[in-house]
Amino acid sequence: MKRQPTPDQLLLDQQLCFALYAASRSVTGLYRPLLEPLGLTYPQYLVMLVLWERDGLTVSELGQRLQLDSGTLTPLLKRLQGAGLVARQRRKEDERVVDIHLTDAGLALRDKASGIPECLAQCMQLSLDQMQTLRDELKRLTRQIQLSPSED
């Protein structure tokens, strides 16, 4: 009458997916107290990273870079606009497109964020080399996944 034990492949601790999911949320949690003084959430910070790197992208270009769709980005960008960090403007030549530009305040915020990466590296207790290796493995995995899926 004893139940079958769960097969090994279904054990939580065996799952790469859960290790990823847990690590991602943990790291986001590390950012939270660092971003709070800047008035940013973690996904908002990612948008700012992209814009600091190259200002004046469209919503869909931001979406390609971050792998997020307009259902996520539109309200997020409206909040950044509300915080005075970006401007959203429909393009004259093609009214379908919305260009996102940093405001002065948005650009200025970069300086306040510049210490964050080092702070994170400290907390994670990884050497620069370990960090790069792990990052590149994860990138490879992501690329692999985005290549293979159900071709239609």
Partner DNA sequence: CAAAATTAAATTGTGTACAATTCAATTTTT
Partner DNA sequence: AAAAATTGAATTGTACACAATTTAATTTTG
Binding positions for DNA, rule: CB under 7 A: 21, 25, 28-29, 32, 41-44, 58-61, 63, 67-77, 79, 88, 93-98
Long-range Cβ contacts of 85-90 (<8 Å, 24+ apart)? 85/48, 85/109, 86/47, 86/51
Is 108 among the residues that bind a second copy (CB under 8 A)? Answer: no
Pairing of β 98-102 and β 57-58: antiparallel
Over the window 123 to 142, marking each residue x when it contacts a second copy by CB under 8 A and - when it does not, the resulting string is xxxx----x--xxxxxx-xx
Classified as helix, coil or strand, 97 is: coil
CA separation for the pair 57, 61 (Å, rounded): 6
User: What span, in angstroms and rounded, lies between the C-alpha atoms of 56 and 86?
Assistant: 10
Q: Which CB sits closer to a second copy, 17 or 95?
A: 17
| DSSP three-state, residue 91 | coil
DSSP secondary structure letter of residue 102: E
Which residue among 19, 84, 105, 112 contacts a second copy (CB under 8 A)?
19
- Is 28 or 103 the residue whose CB approaches DNA more closely? 28
Q: How far is the CB of 42 from DNA (least distance, A)?
A: 7
Q: Where along the sequence are the contacts to a second copy (CB under 8 A)?
A: 3, 6-7, 9-12, 14-31, 33, 42, 46, 49-50, 52-53, 55, 65-67, 107, 110, 113-114, 117-118, 120, 123-126, 131, 134-139, 141-142, 144-146, 148-150
